[in-house]
Structure 1
Amino acid sequence: MTSDAPPDAFYDILRGVAALTGNRVVGDLARLVADGMPQDLWIAFNHKQIGSKRWLVDALAEVLPRPDGPVWVLGAWYGVLGALLLDDPRLTIPAVVSVDLDPACAPVAERLNRRHVAEGRFRAVTADMMTLGFAAQEPSPGLVINTSCEHLVDVPGWLATLPTGLPLLLQSNDYVREPDHRSCVPSLEAFQAQAGLSETLFAGALPTKNYTRFMLIGRR
């Protein structure tokens, strides 16, 4: 885009892509851009972020397409994963609860997911994942997703606070050069040992240019 492009050019491009592909998430993104977007939204929608989330959605569609309750997404940022989950026809998800510690995230997540908010299928919560009591939630979570296990100081300690049998989807990576990554694992096998799930429905690795992402789906 040239420097003299009109301010709404990005919006028009996204609307065109939405019309071309029929992808409703792109249409939702276009409306968010028109409303005024946070400066770092492009990171949440870059090809690496979307590729990782696409991998997650594809795996979930294979092994757990109908969670028995709302899906809680922890460290959800701007709610992009929730948007993809709720819009995928292979999945039957009653609702998504999008959790992030940063209070600036919830308003953006709800604007991106405004269709689902209107249907009562999406809500954004500002909270610390370390203090959430899932055993007390009504209705009970059908799945808890944490794609940021590498950021936790004590992954086994966090998992020990969760109800036994709770369905989980966990991701981590081996990118030790990032200062905020406190619990990286060197391999999928190491991640499995760290998580200690009682049942594993899926275990996989997604190599990228600079690191490998690991994913587990199973039960606490």
Structure 2
Amino acid sequence: MTQDPPSEAFHDLLRGVAALTDNAIANDIARLYGKGAPADLSIACNHKQVASKQWLVAALAETLPRPNGPVWVLGAWYGVLGALLLDDPGLTIGEVVSLDIEPACAAVAETLNHRHVAAGRFRAVTADMMSLDFGAQQPAPGLVINTSCEHLADVPGWLATLPAGLPLVLQSNDYVREPDHRSCVPSLAAFRAQAALSEVLFAGERPTKNYTRFMLIGRR
């Protein structure tokens, strides 16, 4: 469901911020709002969400800057992370596949990433990550990103379905007060134990006001 078109003043403000920052993604967000965007896009683009994604992009540029195949972003929502990945000069990514279980997300994600859709570098799909066979995908994924591990009922069980050696970026947190969080971990060490990756290239944590976010980059 989309919200009513934003007020002319608000839309002008967004376009002004895009002009001041000379940022292509800010301009894409302003364009999306002008077309009518979901009300919760403001959550997807808030400072905490963006900072978390920027942290991921920076860490990935230091560890796996050139994935050997498409990058799949799971639980991708409105495609903000995909936009950041494809615009970062420190990364060489041929294609991002933005996956979410909610059907309404795909159109918004492709509108936000319209430049990359036109270039054949972005596509959005509607599917359940828990039932998708990544080993059967052609071309084979070069990297799978899941920033929503806390939402899964069985993180080790899901990881066991993935091809051995598959490069991964995983995020979770310790925010147990959220009812939809079913696999929170109390520490980075606990997250490493839960994921049991065969190789860890990066392990870090990012404290916020209400919770700590954990991230692992490595191979299944």
Report the TM-score, using the length of structure 2 for normalisation: 0.96
- Give the letter for the 2:22 counterpart: G
1:47 Cα deviation (Å)? 0.7
Deviation of 1:22 after TM superposition, in Å, equals 1.3
**1:87, distance to aligned residue in structure 2 (A):** 0.6
CA distance in 1, matches of 2:97, 2:141: 9
- What is the total number of aligned residue pairs between the two structures? 215
CA RMSD after TM alignment = 0.8
1:150 alignment partner AA: E
Aligned residue number for residue 32 of structure 1: 32
Partner SS for 1:171: strand
TM-score calculated relative to the size of structure 1:
0.96
Corresponding letter in the other structure for 1:72: W
Q: Distance in 1 between matches of 2:31 and 2:206?
A: 31
> What's 1:53 paired with?
53
Shift of 1:7: 1.4
Equivalent residue for 2:41?
A: 41
Instruction: Work out the CA distance in 2 between the residues paired with 1:175 and 1:61.
Output: 27
Cα distance per residue 1:17-67 (max 9 Å; x no partner) = 111111100000011011001111100011110111111111011111111
Q: How far apart in 1 are the matches of 2:37 and 2:78?
A: 10
* 1:65-214 paired onto structure 2 within 5 Å: 65-214=65-214
Could you say which residue in structure 2 is the equivalent of 1:12? 12
101-110 vs 15-24, greater mean Cα deviation: 15-24
Q: Distance in 2 between matches of 1:131 and 1:9?
A: 44
How far, CA to CA, are the matches of 1:12 and 1:104 in structure 2?
Answer: 26
Q: Which runs of 5+ in 1 are unaligned?
A: 1-5
Stretches (4+) displaced over 4 A:
none
Unaligned 5+ residue runs, structure 2? 1-5
* CA distance in structure 1 between the partners assigned to 2:26 and 2:9 by the alignment: 15
Q: CA offsets, 1:69-97, max 9 Å, x none?
A: 11000000000000010011111000000
Residue 91 of structure 2 aligns to a residue whose secondary structure is coil
Aligned equivalents of 2:165, 2:153: Cα separation in 1: 23
User: What is the CA–CA distance in structure 2 between the aligned matches of 1:10 and 1:97, rounded to whole Å?
Assistant: 31
For 2:88 and 2:18, locate their aligned partners in 1 and report how far apart those are by CA, in whole Å: 15
Cα offsets for 1:162-215 (capped at 9, x unmatched): 000000000000001111100000000000000000000000000000100000
2:164 and 2:94 map into 1 onto residues whose CA distance is 22
Task: Give the 3-state SS of the residue equivalent to 2:171 in structure 1.
Answer: strand
- The residue identity in structure 1 corresponding to 2:179 is P
Match of 1:3 in 2: none
Counterpart CA distance in 2 for 1:40 and 1:164 is 36
State the 1:13 CA deviation. Answer: 1.4
- 1:107-135 deviation digits (Å, cap 9, x = unpaired): 00000000000000000000000011111
Separation of aligned partners in 2, 1:9 and 1:104: 27
Q: Which amino acid aligns with 2:120?
A: G
